[in-house]
Chain A
Amino acid sequence: MSEVKYSKEHEWIKIEGDVGTVGITQHATEMLGDIVFVELPDVGSSVEKDGNAGVVESTKAASDVYTPISGEITESNQAIVDDPGKINSDPENEAWFFKLKIKDSNELDSLMNKEEYDKFAKESGN
């Protein structure tokens, strides 16, 4: 069983047991435009909820990536580093950013479900 939740910074997290897989949403990629560079957190590093966990750059500008919850990075997706265009083509599946070991599952409560996020994204416009 897995569950997907969303942050106000337009990240998604798929939860499977105590492992979370994090990426950015389709809506985020539409706002960013063509992504040409990505920097991911180091495996083994700890990240804090809403803290910095990478960078994406489009042809236009650089944007920070935040982690929706705290944890220890267990894996990062080299495929999107080698071909950042994948983030535009399949942001919510193949182009995940990193996996982390969830530190405190209570943090998940502050995140939105799909329906709430879609409404949020629509209302926040850009």
Chain B
Amino acid sequence: MGTEVNMEIKKTSLNKLHETNKAKFVEFAGYEMPIQYSAGIIEEHKFTRSHSGIFDVSHMGQLFIYGDDNLTDDLEKIFPLDLKNLKLNSSKYSFLMNDDAKVYDDLIITKIEGGFLIILNAACKDNDFKILSSLLNDKYKMVLDNTRSLIAIQGPKSVEILNTILSNVSDLTFMSGNWFMYKDQKLFVTRSGYTGEDGFEISIENNFAEEFTKRLLDNGAKLIGLGARDTLRLEAGLCLYGHELDINKSPIEANLKWAISKERLIKGGFIGFDNIVNQINSGTNQIRVGIKPEGRLIAREKTKVFNKNDEVIGEVTSGTFGPSVNGPIAMGFVNKEFSKKETKIFLEVRGKKHPASICGLPFYKKSYVKGVN
């Protein structure tokens, strides 16, 4: 079987620590990842909202691309961002698209000294690397760095906890980052996240990931699994690649026009521009919406959405129980004419149609914002 690839499941540097903390593991994008710990998804979710949760996101890709102003120019031909005016250590949410403006991946790009750091989805990172290498004609040094782990800390107590270990980390503003020293290690920390909470993502050399995470645990944060990560991001109305975004959907359909630079929408010159403009001008057939089922019924991914005349008008892309809103929540795509808030719809679950309505996003919004912006 000479052609068989090595299918061995990959483990992150925190795998042992997950095990010690009684993680239940699942395979995710080729990695053995914790879906939950002994506390369970609901408690982990609530702890993140009220205190501070630690998420191992080391399976995600950390792509460093090094180059000068030419690199910035070349990346502007790819991403719909105003990268020339992006300040050092500032981050933007964006997409890698094809010519039809369909999405290969969604990502966070940060301007760093000497180039850019791009955080990619685990399941997409290898393909992204190939696409980007080819688009950039191998002109620049590109490192998909698997020597570094990525740890997110999220929730209202996170700033206080992280600040005891990395002083002045509280100076970071939302969607910006910087290098910090931990012992003799350089950590790249950004103030960002995927939960709707204040928080940080920390890039750290693999050999130091476990001891650093233990420091966070000692200061009162707790490990949180991918299960709660999903309920948290869905309550926050955030897209998950493979659900709300994929190679058949555009950012306009996904209702993410806000992430495209206004400047670039006028000037163009990036991959997918024509179709983006087209879709903005003439509208898309479907658009991403929030969906609130009545009662306690959960409508999972692929649930068909109907109008009151029993016609299929869309599909659920993510659906779960939201612990903080204490009820079922979902996102999906529906025909434009049914996308207005409070439109009554029906969800077909196990052969029966259940009432629901279109609602605004996010489902959960923090009642206070603390000094960041």
Query: Which A residues are within 8 Å of any B CB, using their own CB?
Result: 33-34, 36-37, 39, 55, 57-62, 81, 84
Contacts and interface: CB of A to CB of B under 8 A. Distances in A.
Contact-residue bracket for chain B: 10 to 19
A33 B231 CA distance: 14
Given A59-B41, A59-B227, A60-B227, A36 B321 contact: yes
Interface string B33-61: 00110001110000000000000000000
Contacts of A62: 298, 300
Nearest to A36: B321
A23 to B, nearest CB: 19
17 contacts: A33-B36, A34-B40, A36-B296, A36-B321, A36-B328, A37-B296, A37-B297, A37-B321, A39-B350, A55-B350, A59-B41, A59-B227, A59-B321, A60-B35, A60-B227, A61-B300, A81-B296
B72 interface: no
A36 B40 contact: no
A84 B296 contact: yes
Given A36-B42, A36-B321, A57-B321, 20 more contacts: A33-B36, A33-B41, A34-B40, A34-B41, A36-B298, A36-B328, A37-B296, A37-B297, A37-B298, A37-B328, A39-B350, A55-B350, A58-B41, A59-B320, A59-B323, A60-B41, A60-B227, A62-B300, A81-B296, A84-B296
Contacts, number: 37
A38 to B, nearest CB: 8
Given A33-B36, A36-B321, A37-B298, A59 B42 contact: yes
Given A57-B321, A59-B227, A59-B321, A34 B42 contact: yes
* Top 10 closest pairs, chain A to chain B, by CB: A36-B321, A59-B41, A34-B42, A34-B40, A57-B298, A37-B296, A37-B298, A34-B41, A59-B321, A33-B40
Contacts of B350: 39, 55
Contacts of A34: 40-42
Interface string B323-367: 100001000000000000000000000100000000000000000
A52 B300 CA distance: 19
A119 to B, nearest CB: 22
Contacts of A84: 296
Given A62-B298, A62-B300, A33 B328 contact: no
A56 B350 CA distance: 12
A57 B36 CA distance: 16
A81 B295 CA distance: 10
A59 B42 CA distance: 8
Nearest to B35: A60
A76 to B, nearest CB: 15
B192 to A, nearest CB: 25
Interface string B279-304: 00000000000000000111010000
Nearest to B300: A62
A34 B42 CA distance: 7
Nearest to B230: A59
B227 A33 contact: yes
Contacts of B300: 61-62
A45 B40 CA distance: 35
Nearest to A59: B41
Contacts of B41: 33-34, 58-60
A56 to B, nearest CB: 11
Contacts of A59: 41-42, 227, 231, 320-321, 323
Contacts of A37: 296-298, 321, 328
A33 B34 CA distance: 13
Q: Which of B41, B227, B231, B296 is most buried by chain A, counting CB atoms within 10 A of its CB?
A: B296
A81 B297 CA distance: 10
A58 B42 CA distance: 10
Nearest to A64: B350
A91 B220 CA distance: 32
Contacts of A33: 36, 40-41, 227
